[in-house]
Amino acid sequence: MLLFDFSNDDQQATRHGDAKGRYDLGLIVAAMLLASLGVVMVASSSIAVADGQHIGAFYFLYRHLVFLALGLVAALVMTRIELAWLERNALPLLLCGTVLLLLVFVPFIGVRVNGARRWIRFGIIGFQSVEAVKILLVVYMASYLVRHREGLQTKLLGVVKPLGIAAIFAGLLLAQPDFGSATLLMAVTLGMVWLGGARLRNLTLLGACALPVLAALAMSQDYRVKRLTSFLDPWADPFKDGFQLTQALIAIGRGEWFGVGLGASVQKLFYLPEAHTDFILAVLAEELGLAGIVVVLALFAWLVGRGFVIGVRAVEQNRHFAGYCAFGVSLMLALQALVSIGVNLGVLPTKGLTLPLISSGGSSVMMTCAAIGLLVRVSYEVTRADNAMMQLVNERRAREVVA
């Protein structure tokens, strides 16, 4: 594909109404394969859980399919929204995200589940606020990096401001408490700021200042300390603090190279907690073996890699907002998948983060689909801009021939 400099002819090229873009097929196929694998694994891992709760063997599968369908609608909506509109309304959207996070603390609206207030409920509809906030914060940060690019690249204060905004959201999440999502938001923001051109020196200085604060927060609650230390030697207390991880490791070990067969997992039969959500990869490893894990890693690598390629292409066109949105979504998917896989394999502390597109879920599935829809929209506008510029170049050449 030819590369063009959009610095002079950008507006004229994009006004060509006949120019059409195309959606990145590789991105869509990778997402569909992950979602399809997720449907299979949710069906396999949740039957025993649902049957034990006497709610119907396929309850969680049907629920997952409903939210996946809603997620598809959300993704289609995102593919139809112009990025220019998102850039203009980035601040109002961020304020909406703030309201969503505050609503979890409102009585009769915020719902406490497993000791944490992370859900808002309107009648029979429940929603986890942070899942929407992830996308809204990415959009706002992309807008901020465009508007303050020079200050970000030259001044320490230009780095402090976006990280400070993310820290406010992280503080609201810690109050729920949701340490995992707070860490994810900070990591994604830090990655976007670095890709936006912030000096490594400034980031290192801020990181050195923030490290004691993060350590104090991690050590401030006993359950956080146990989570941060139990994964180092889960067999030291295999029936309490290390129970989840030991059961996951048993499942992964049983899978060996090619697994025990789809549906034949033993650990999902009430041994492994959260088998269809946080620890679904362990069930997948038991049933499909190392080969299944490699397939999952390859699909995520392809999905995230395509996202970064699209982002780089947008930046080359001087469409920095589109590029930063692509970087932000790709970072979010990559980090969440990395943490979830690391937790299942016992190389990271236990965190309540689902595996995108594969784990059973409601809000998480819907908002992940919406985030991929945003990424697909970026790919559409990037190719549309290429085609518009090509039309402009061809028209100029035609006029020169006529002249």
- At residue 337 the predicted structure's pLDDT band, cuts being 50, 70 and 90, is very high
- At residue 71 the predicted structure's pLDDT band, cuts being 50, 70 and 90, is very high
Nearest-10 Cα torsion for 170, 188, 352, 344: -150
Query: What mean pLDDT is predicted for residues 42-63?
Result: 88
Taking 70 as the threshold, does the pLDDT of residue 6 lie above it? no
Residue 126, pLDDT score = 74
What confidence tens digit (pLDDT) does each residue in 107-119 have?
878 777 766 777 8
Average pLDDT value for the chain: 86
Residue 2, pLDDT score = 33
- Residue 305 has which token pair? 């890699």
First vs last C-alpha separation in the chain:
29
Rounded Cα gap, residues 203 and 199, in angstroms:
7
Taking 60 as the threshold, does the pLDDT of residue 97 lie above it? yes
Taking 80 as the threshold, does the pLDDT of residue 401 lie above it? no
Residue 30, pLDDT score = 95
- At residue 9 the predicted structure's pLDDT band, cuts being 50, 70 and 90, is very low
Taking 70 as the threshold, does the pLDDT of residue 8 lie above it? no
Residue 78, pLDDT score = 95
- At residue 362 the predicted structure's pLDDT band, cuts being 50, 70 and 90, is confident
Taking 90 as the threshold, does the pLDDT of residue 356 lie above it? yes
Residue 1, pLDDT score = 33
- Residue 156 has which token pair? 């320490």
Residue 224, pLDDT score = 65
For the chain, counts of helices (H) and of strands (E): 15, 3
Query: What mean pLDDT is predicted for residues 347-376?
Result: 89
What confidence tens digit (pLDDT) does each residue in 263-300 have?
888 898 888 888 888 899 999 999 999 999 999 999 99
Quote the pTM value.
0.89
- In this predicted model, which residue has the larger pLDDT, 289 or 124? 289
Looking at 38-42, 137-141, 194-198, 216-220, which range is the least confident one? 216-220
Taking 70 as the threshold, does the pLDDT of residue 10 lie above it? no
What are the φ and ψ backbone dihedral angles of 125, each rounded to 5 degrees? -95, 125
SS3 160: helix
Query: What mean pLDDT is predicted for residues 301-321?
Result: 94
What are the φ and ψ backbone dihedral angles of 128, each rounded to 5 degrees? -95, 110
Query: Does residue 141 contact residue 167 with C-beta atoms inside 8 Å?
Result: no
Residue 16, pLDDT score = 46
